[in-house]
Structure 1
């Protein structure tokens, strides 16, 4: 997972160069010559970058807050001015992330363990071991919920209780709570020897959704 997020930073950094290549000058009756760029490309990059900053830095981080400030166009400024500011914040976040300043050593180790276990679950599923894959993915999910409870000073216990407490605390919304409940049902069916109650596709989505949950809430 750490590598995937690092790779994502690299991908979006490369997109910066593509957007900069669209930079040009345009005459304006009101302001004379102004800087322009491909606004659609810039908007797409901005949305993807904000999502990555939330995943790696958090909504309350200085990096994310500065990025939000940078995206605003004030007065006589142009989208190009805004893009240059967002680029600077993005590069700062990428540098801090790659050098380990955004995540604790414990979280880094845990993320690597989770990533390895989800890959194992995917391999088991590919080899026809559907129940085992679901059980492993379920263990990763439950461990992630326990870690999230610890981070937010909430009591740990059974998966359903932790899921409910985290939603009540506003750590994630009701929709995410329902999705986790559905994933837990798949895990429970697998653990109780009822493979007929879920499909290979259910387990594929379980692994995918668990990975996305980890990226969003524990990175």
Structure 2
């Protein structure tokens, strides 16, 4: 799960609870109405929409419902709008935490990775194991960089990112060792040392990268 987005969902939920705490009942000529801090609520809506676009996508049902939900109805107070968009925000938060959301960027990236791994497989089948290993290695390094970005970890060399991701508990030491082994093959290929690995090693490398992407990039 994207830790930064998860943290932001929690922060905005806390802010929504704070806004709830500003609720007051005001008596007027047409009866009583419930009000909240308008400035806080306006600020929250802007931040919430930004998060929904990032986490769900601009064309997602969550974002569309939120935009529609913030429209004022006849004789409606800000508190009425707050209850409506708050429920929509809560649904998006629940779906995000349950792993039911996937962004457009993730979909595009998945297609790119799939295409590049297919290219690596075709090169291997044609006897070009060096080029195949290099391309597969680029896919893995790009995936690690994306996971680091999503979780607030600095980019670096593949080994450094691998170590930091394992240290942060995003995957196991066993997974870290497997990535280290893949990186060794990639490095040997990049330095033109085909004698250090076999075609079967590259075949296993592509298989393991595909498995990693399914486990950590889906």
State the secondary structure of the residue aligned to 1:116: helix
Q: 1:172 — aligned with what?
A: 171
Q: How does 1:55-204 map to 2 (within 5 A)?
A: 102-204=101-203
Following TM superposition, the consecutive aligned residue runs of length 4 or more in structure 1 with deviations greater than 2 angstroms are none
**TM-score, with length taken from structure 1:** 0.54
Give me the whole-angstrom Cα distance separating, in 2, the residues matched to 1:175 and 1:216: 14
Task: Specify the alignment match of 2:76 in structure 1.
Answer: none
Deviation at 1:102, TM superposition (A): 2.0
The aligned runs of 1:31-70 (5 Å cut-off) are none
CA RMSD of aligned residues (A): 1.0
**Scaled by the length of structure 2, what TM-score is found?**
0.54
The Cα of 1:111 is off from its aligned counterpart by 0.3
Structure 2: give runs of 5+ residues left out of the alignment.
1-94
Distance 2:148 2:174 in 1: 18
Unmatched tracts of structure 1, length 5 or more: 1-95
| Aligned-pair CA distance for 1:146 | 0.2
Paired with 1:217 and 1:153, the residues of 2 have a C-alpha distance of 16
In the alignment, structure 1 residue 214 sits paired with structure 2 residue 209 = no
1:105-149 deviations in Å (ceiling 9; x for gaps): 000000000000000000000000000000000000000000000
